[in-house]
Structure 1
Amino acid sequence: MAGGPVGVKHPAKTLFLISAITSLLAFTLSLIAIFVPWSWKDTAVGQRTWVDLWKNCIAFVSQPLHPHTCQENDIDQVGSVAGGSMKCRGYFAATQVFIVAGCVFAFLALVFAFLIIGKLWSKPIALALYVCTLTFLAFSCILVSFLMWIVYAEQNCQPGNTLFPLKGYSYGWICAVVATFLAFLAMLTAYLGLFKILSFKPFIPHEEPPMYPVAAEAPVYLEPQPYYEPVAYEYPPVVAPSVAYPPQVAYPPQVAYPPVLAAY
């Protein structure tokens, strides 16, 4: 039953709808986080450095138009945003990998959550497990990404470099934190929806069996018969036969005798 009974709403529909909406928001915020700065720091007077996942920019905030220069992040170089530290390089690369993976998983969770809404009455347990797994992976990846950035931002990757420790958290990191919370809601509602699918039993009216067995008879098809005009038949008149009775026989008159009384 794809559409379900008329006027009956599946209890898991609202849960998967919430999961789809929160997955959409988590996907949007994680996608934004990929392209905006995650941290900033005033490295000199009138000079501010912005660091995102793929490049870093130096803005001259003391000038009216705030001109800036940008360069790509090369975490293998000593003077880069990783400072030549193997630990900082690992934390930075982990942030890049996990935020991208979380964005992809959130998008897939969104697609499967919308897909399952129209199939709830067919009890799609496998599809619900996919939604739960994808929301869990999206939540885990985005969570790890912003935690790895915290560890990176608090590290002194290169002693003597005024950029480290970076510490200041910007738009990308904030988007990742909010996306983590939304992905957690998507995961929670997806698991609740799976529980509803497993436990929900639709009401089916009970039909009493017939008192006597009813034999199923195949319908008999009669060929259409041609129409005939009624025919009036004329019969000859019926004459009753004459019956001859025998003549009456005269019997002699009967003699009446007086009653005889017994003598004592």
Structure 2
Amino acid sequence: MKNKRDSIYPIGFGVLFLLIWQMLCSLQVIPAYLMPSPAQIVRALTGDFSLLMYHLLYTLLESMLGLTAGVILGLLFALLMDRFSKLYKTFYPIIIISQTIPTIAIAPLLVLWFGYDLLPKIILIVLVTFFPITIGVLESFKSTDKDEINLLKSMGASEFDIYKFIKLPSSMGKFFAALKISASYSVVGGVISEWLGGFRGLGVYMTRVRKAYAFDKMFAVIIIISILSLLLLKAVDILQKISMPWEEKHEKSN
């Protein structure tokens, strides 16, 4: 009941914001060529709905493929760098430096090397999604209680047992926190890659309507991207509750 009451505040603010926005546009305080009204955006969204869904499915496909590959790669890197100190010393600085390169600078090179199909877009999404997973899980591994590890070793536990019973369970919280970040990055990364070339996807649609100065349709795409990101975050929340049922019980007890 408390959560429902708390949700009234952001919903109320959102409705008030939209009403003020619509009023300012209707009174022509904000020129139409600068900012479309909410009513115009809704009309654009409904008018091009089937076309938007066509592009959305392609963006969703590449986002899911890239996110899945990025999560697997991130977990693999975290496990290897935690297990082998030389790999950690070698690759950790490289991974950090790789994130200083702007995504928009990498995308044209990927298109040049791999063409306009699905592959360069998936690679770009992998590059932006594996980093939060790698760093989040690796930091969790490194912060594992040493006394617990020594206790298991004294009982004859192998490295596999240590990961199975201590490190992996204790890292689940940070893993899902990182997964939320990666899930939102996957959609943004996919759209950015589509800006620079392609035949389908929300980014391609945005490029076309921008050239036609159809800003109401651009805002319609932004709304769809935001909704898609929120749905992915909700899916991660559900997956976390399924994987970590004890967390929900702990919250209820408090």
Q: TM-score, normalized by length of structure 1?
A: 0.25
Q: TM-score, normalized by length of structure 2?
A: 0.26
Q: Which structure carries more strand by proportion?
A: 1
Q: Which structure carries more helix by proportion?
A: 2
Bigger CA radius of gyration? 1
